Amino acid sequence: MDEFLKNNYSLLTYGVELMAAIIGLIVYKKFKNSHAKYFIWFICAIPLIEFIGGYPWHFEDLGLFHLIEGTVFERNYWWFTIFWTMGSALFYSWYLEKVITNKMYSILLRVSRYVFFVISILVIVTNIDEFFIYSSSPIVLGGTVLIILSCFLYFLEILTSDKILDFYRSINFYISATLFIWFLITSTILFFDKYFNDMDWNFVLLQWQVFLISNIFMYSIFTFALLWSKPEKN
């Protein structure tokens, strides 16, 4: 199992991401007049972000790793901090703000998003060395809190409106529920990213297992939601 993960982790991850992206493109016409089109754009960009983020392995496979070895770009934490830890939290909070109709909730999300962005920039600037070495715990925590707050406000609006009558056909419900579970599971293990190195393969494999199972769960639900859900007009 350990050797299988070492050899196939990236392939399996790309596979479930591409599955969701391809299904999103196939059903895009169904959602083109709803906010869900932005979600489809985002999940189509994720495989590209993941591929570019794997540049250390690409350099190694090409025998060019010496070009980045010993530089701040030797590790790819900076890339995923910007484009996933920060990027996904900012996007999903913006997306859920657009589908929430309660103006007070929308304002709260907008302010929270700006605060998270400013704090994240300050954390990066004041801890620039750590930014390139491992995931920043304050940014991971802030992104998780922002995502959970966004999902919570969306759920609260559903429970206090007639949307509850048809929530099971809403793609936004499946997106929110999946994100809520995914971030709760994965954010915890990211706090220990400083131990993610080839000196501790037990932790590396544990993290891979957690993320692989979580990713299969998340993108499988996204794929199901795209096929099952009805579009909601803006």
- Per residue in 20-35, pLDDT (tens digit) is 999 999 999 999 999 9
The per-residue pLDDT for 117 is: 97
The per-residue pLDDT for 26 is: 96
Give 233's strand partners: 34
Range 123-133 average pLDDT: 89
User: Which tokens is 219 given?
Assistant: 């993108």
Range 150-163 average pLDDT: 90
Q: Would you give the DSSP letter of residue 175?
A: H
How many H helices and E strands in the chain?
11, 0
Range 44-70 average pLDDT: 90
The per-residue pLDDT for 31 is: 93
112 CB neighbour count, 10 Å cutoff: 19
C-beta of residue 148 within 8 angstroms of C-beta of residue 184: yes
The per-residue pLDDT for 196 is: 53
User: Which tokens is 145 given?
Assistant: 């809190």
Range 131-146 average pLDDT: 88
Does the pLDDT value for residue 185 go beyond 90? Answer: no
Does the pLDDT value for residue 79 go beyond 80? Answer: yes
Does the pLDDT value for residue 198 go beyond 60? Answer: no
C-alpha neighbours within 13 Å on the C-beta side of residue 85 = 28
The per-residue pLDDT for 86 is: 95
- Place 139 in a pLDDT band, splitting at 50, 70 and 90: very high
* Of 9 and 90, more confident: 90
Does the pLDDT value for residue 164 go beyond 90? Answer: no
Burial of 30 (0-12, 13-18, 19+ CB in 10 A): middle
The per-residue pLDDT for 194 is: 56
d(CA 188, CA 164): 31
The per-residue pLDDT for 100 is: 93
The per-residue pLDDT for 154 is: 95
The per-residue pLDDT for 66 is: 87
Identify the residue whose tokens are 């969701």: 20
d(CA 31, CA 190): 34
Nearest to 157 by CA among 222, 109, 88: 109
